[in-house]
Structure formats: C-alpha cells, structure tokens
Structure 1
Amino acid sequence: MELLSILLQATGSGLDVFGAALGVGIAVLAAGWGIGKIGTSAMEGIARQPEAAGDIRMNMIISAALIEGVALFAVVVCGFILIK
C-alpha cells in the first residue's frame, strides 16, 4: 500500500514517462527473447523428431501469438501512461 502511494505521487514529476518508456522497452525485449527461445526450441525438437513437426509447429505458433499478445497489451498500457 505504501509503494502505491509513492508511485501515485511520482506521476507529476516526469518519472511516469521514464517508467512507461522503460516498461515498453522491457516488454519488447522480453517478447523478442521469448519468441526467439520458442523458435530455437521448436527447431531443435523438429530436428530430433521430424515426424512430430506439425504438432511442434502448431504449438510454436500458438505460444508465439500468446507472447506477442501479452507484449502488445504491455505496450498499450504503457502508451496510455505516456498519453496522460
């Protein structure tokens, strides 16, 4: 509760813009790293079991879409902070 009141007081001092920009950067970097990790693991799995390529590819696409959706949500929320 104390942290929330401190954060609410800091919104007028320019820290909100810094926090939003930092949040966007972290969200984009984490999403890129996560999708890259999924792609790497999927390619390794397909190399080990070529007969399961269709299932692995489908799971890879679904996981990448979920990560991208979460990253887009984070960018939109941080964008709302920037708009004020």
Structure 2
Amino acid sequence: MEGNIAFLGYGLSAIGPGIGIGLIFAAYINGVARQPEARGMLQTIAFTGFALAEALALFGLVFAFVFQ
C-alpha cells in the first residue's frame, strides 16, 4: 500500500514542475517578443529555470523509490 502512495505522490509532484516549465517558457517567449536583443540573456535564464524545475520532478521520482 505504501508503494502506491509513493507513486501517487510522484505523480502529484510532477504536476508542479510541468506547470512551472510552461510558465518559464511562456515568459521567455513574451520577453523575446518584446525585446529581441535580450534573447541571449533570457535564454540562459529560461534554461536555468527549466533545469531547476525539472530537478524537482526528478527528486520526486527518487523519493517515490526511496520511501516505498
């Protein structure tokens, strides 16, 4: 029973980073559309935010296996 709860927790923890990644790239596209010359700086920030948000989903996956 605990294993099922752990995987349910992973599923729920993957929703947040998924939404966050969408918001990060929406802000990136909006920023580049408004100020194209800032593309390089915004791209670095967007990819860093993507990596951090994706790390949260990976931590959730690891914890689902560790705490079953």
TM-score (norm 2): 0.88
Aligned residue number for residue 27 of structure 2: 41
- CA deviation vs aligned residue, 1:3-29 (integer Å, no higher than 9, x gap): xxxxxxxxxxx2x22321221111211
The AA in structure 2 aligned to 1:44 is N
**Structure 1 residue aligned with 2:36:** 50
Equivalent AA in structure 2 for residue 81 of structure 1: F
SS in 2 for 1:17: helix
Q: State the SS of the aligned residue for 2:67.
A: helix
Q: Which has the larger radius of gyration?
A: 1
Gaps spanning 5+ residues in structure 1: where?
Answer: 1-13
Q: 2:12 aligns with which of 20, 26, 29?
A: 26
> Which of 46, 62, 65 is the matching residue for 1:76?
62
Tell me the percent identity. Answer: 35
State the structure with bigger RCO (CA 8 A, min sep 6), 1 or 2: 2
Unaligned runs of 5+ in 2: none
TM-score between the two structures when normalised by the length of structure 1? 0.73
Quote the RMSD (CA, aligned, Å). Answer: 1.1
How many angstroms does 1:79 deviate by?
1.4
Q: Distance in 1 between matches of 2:21 and 2:34?
A: 20
